[in-house]
Amino acid sequence: MLAANAPPRYPRNVRPTHPAPPRVLGWYPPTADPLAAADGPVLVAVCGAHGNEPAGVEAALDVLAALHASRPPARGRFVAVTGNRSALARGVRYVDADLNRLWTDDAVRALSDHGVRSARDGAGDLDGGVEAAEQSDLFATLSAIMGGGEAHSGRVSILDLHTTSAPSAPFAIALPTTPNRRLLAGVPLPLVHGLEGRLTGTLSSWLARAGHAALSVEGGRHGDASSVRHLVHVLWLALANGGVLDRRDVAWAANAAALRTARAGRPAGVTVAYRHPVGRGDGFRMQPGLESFQRVRKGTLLAETHAGPVTAPLGGVLLFPLYQGLGDDGFFIARRIDTRWPHGAPQQEGQV
Ligand SMILES: [Zn+2]
């Protein structure tokens, strides 16, 4: 059993003291141009948007190695890109700002209007810090793949791969759009809804609102080998649902079965009802031993701060209890909805 704050394991090329990993980690098939505008289905894995979460890098490299070894026929392209290269090189969540909170409409409009600045390796940007340069470079990379930022609905799918500081079953955070329903059809992950209204500027919600299939996947706890495996299972299933590979070439049944085992006992869907914000200097300390999807009652002691104890303001399902130094979200409490998708959301016949 790893301690809650155990340092993450790093793949060979992503040790904190090493140079930043490349923006494009790899692609398949080898004949494809990884950064050309899509003329067929494309699945993009964004790995390490938080630099202390290298499990996504490991998972994408694992899948790419298997693809290059077995050479299945591909209709489109799989491209794995890194998120926050500077933070991955340092092994920290972020350096100056959380890269997964910067994708607001205003910021994306500014990147589109004023062009992109090239990211200098870890040197940062004079006016916006390290993550401004990371965002600019990642925006340029994704825009090239997506074709100048135009939405090719149903053709470009993006998985933003993460892990959490607390133990957790794997789960997905997805806006209930038709492309997202298609990408997750038959993928046995609990779905978390309602985070978008509480977290501004996430990468996947920007891309989903732009019309792409785009969602975040949490593989499990930082540093757990099982977190990498969960992300690998999800990538294989998404390669089939995204139209890149034939279902027969992705070991669908085995990957789905492994995810079903990992999610055992968790609800099909939850919707977030409460976020506990953390300010710097709060002295926020989560109570030990808490996990995502753990049920809590109203009044349960969850954390301590300089101002006193923090208890659950309502009963429900605990999500993202914070066991790392960097982060503005202490914990979330969600309610079960007992369906994968919230009622009243757009329907996609026969897909979910
Ligand atoms: Zn993350």
**Residue 211, amino acid:** G
Q: How far is the CA of 205 from the centre of ligand 1 (A)?
A: 14
The answer to whether 169 and 293 are in contact (CB under 8 A) is yes
So what's the pLDDT on residue 12?
45
Q: What is the CATH number of domain 272-336?
A: 2.40.50.100
Q: How far is the CA of 238 from the centre of ligand 1 (A)?
A: 19
So what's the pLDDT on residue 208?
92
Q: How far is the CA of 75 from the centre of ligand 1 (A)?
A: 30
Buried b (16+ CB within 10 A) or exposed e, 204-216: bbbbbbbbbbbbb
Span 116-173, pLDDT tens digits: 554 333 444 445 689 999 999 999 999 888 885 454 444 899 999 999 999 999 999 9
Residues of the chain with CATH 2.40.50.100: 272-336
Q: How far apart are CA 193 and CA 341, in angstroms?
A: 8
Q: Residues 216-227: what's their mean pLDDT?
A: 95
Q: How far is the CA of 230 from the centre of ligand 1 (A)?
A: 15
Summary mean pLDDT of the chain: 87
So what's the pLDDT on residue 5?
39
Span 1-28, pLDDT tens digits: 333 333 444 444 444 545 789 999 999 9
Q: How far apart are CA 238 and CA 60, in angstroms?
A: 12
Span 51-103, pLDDT tens digits: 999 999 999 999 999 999 999 999 999 999 999 999 999 999 999 999 999 99
**CB-CB neighbours of 189 under 10 Å:** 27
So what's the pLDDT on residue 90?
92
So what's the pLDDT on residue 148?
54
Q: How far is the CA of 163 from the centre of ligand 1 (A)?
A: 5
Domain 24-262, CATH homologous superfamily name and number: Zn peptidases (3.40.630.10)
Q: How far is the CA of 71 from the centre of ligand 1 (A)?
A: 31
Q: How far is the CA of 53 from the centre of ligand 1 (A)?
A: 6
Q: How far apart are CA 169 and CA 208, in angstroms?
A: 24
Residues of the chain with CATH 3.40.630.10: 24-262
Residue 324: pLDDT band with limits 50, 70, 90? confident
